[in-house]
């Protein structure tokens, strides 16, 4: 049985880059705590390897990532969810965002919920045209808790972030590109690989220390709001509406929320 997180180190003309693949295609590459642990371990290794010039993140199968596995967090108490799930996810995603190397998310299928939050940690996001991107948490009585609300606002502005996070409906890859959420859109899988190869060629040709210094400067625009995120998730996770959203998802029915 293959690991649910695959890691590969590539080299071209003496220059190395790494690739991390979410390998849970039958579950939409939905994230679990063991997957987050594996991702963190590989990211630590990339950060410690100055020979690696870039990191590419992919999803196996037809999805990039459909979010955090609801079976992994749906039964947690509000306090446990905040401490075990939200803080853990934030730590891992922040570690990706803080890498000295540029990070490229290759969105070959839908990126939803925690999957979109994972993609938002990347410096570049390349998507195939049929992919959809969204933050559907409010439709389950939950909120995006891994820093996605803030990162969305930073990337596409408050009005568009409100549209994605308060309505909960996904948007097309084309619209995401127009909003600046995607760096480029490709018509199919083959064209997407051409985009990936082109971007990697440019990044691998640049000065690593200069790119790292630039990333540090850009990172100063963001504040550390992990505790506010975790607190907000804890409050929402304790609502009856959240319990209803989880139950409805498992029963494959439409939830009925009562504002309590």
4 catalytic, yes or no? no
Can 117 be counted among the known catalytic residues? yes
Distance CA 42, CA 45 (A): 5
Residue 56 Cα to chain centre, angstroms? 12
* Run of H or E residues at 223: none
How far apart CA 116 and CA 34 sit, in angstroms, is 19
* DSSP H helix total and E strand total for the chain: 12, 10
Distances (CA, A) of 178 to 73, 113, 139, 194: 33, 20, 25, 20
d(CA 163, CA 185): 21
Cβ neighbours for 198, distance < 8 A, ≥ 6 positions apart? none
Which 3 state secondary structure label does DSSP give 218?
helix
* Share of the chain residues as helix, strand and coil, in percent rounded to the nearest 5: 50, 20, 30
Catalytic residue among 4, 19, 137, 234: 137
- Annotated active-site residue in 117, 163, 178, 195: 117
> Taken in order 73, 63, 140, 104, is the CA torsion positive or negative?
positive
Instruction: Indicate which residues carry an active-site annotation.
Output: 117, 137
């Amino acid at each position: 049985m293959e690991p649910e997180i695959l890691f590969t180190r590539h080299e071209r003309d003496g220059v190395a880059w790494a690739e991390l693949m979410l390998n849970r295609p039958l579950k939409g590459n939905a994230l679990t705590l063991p997957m987050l642990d594996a991702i963190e371990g590989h990211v630590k290794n990339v950060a410690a390897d100055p020979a690696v010039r870039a990191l590419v993140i992919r999803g196996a199968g037809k999805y990039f990532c459909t979010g955090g596995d609801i079976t992994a967090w749906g039964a947690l108490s509000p306090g446990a969810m905040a401490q075990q799930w939200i803080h853990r996810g934030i730590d891992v995603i922040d570690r990706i965002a803080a890498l000295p190397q540029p990070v490229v998310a290759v969105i070959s299928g839908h990126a939803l919920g925690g999957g979109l939050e994972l993609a938002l940690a990347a410096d570049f996001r390349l998507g195939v045209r049929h992919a959809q991107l969204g933050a559907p948490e409010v439709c389950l009585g939950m909120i995006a808790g891994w820093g996605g609300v803030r990162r969305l606002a930073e990337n596409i502005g408050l009005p568009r972030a409100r549209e994605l996070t308060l309505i909960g409906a996904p948007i097309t890859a084309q619209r995401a590109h127009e909003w600046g959420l995607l760096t480029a859109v490709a018509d199919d899988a083959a064209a997407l690989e051409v985009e990936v190869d082109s971007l990697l060629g440019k990044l691998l040709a640049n000065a690593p220390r200069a790119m790292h210094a630039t990333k540090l400067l850009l990172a100063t625009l963001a504040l550390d709001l992990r505790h506010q995120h975790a607190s907000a998730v804890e409050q929402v996770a304790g609502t009856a509406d959240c319990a209803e959203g989880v139950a409805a998802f498992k029963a494959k029915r439409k939830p009925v929320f009562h504002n309590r």
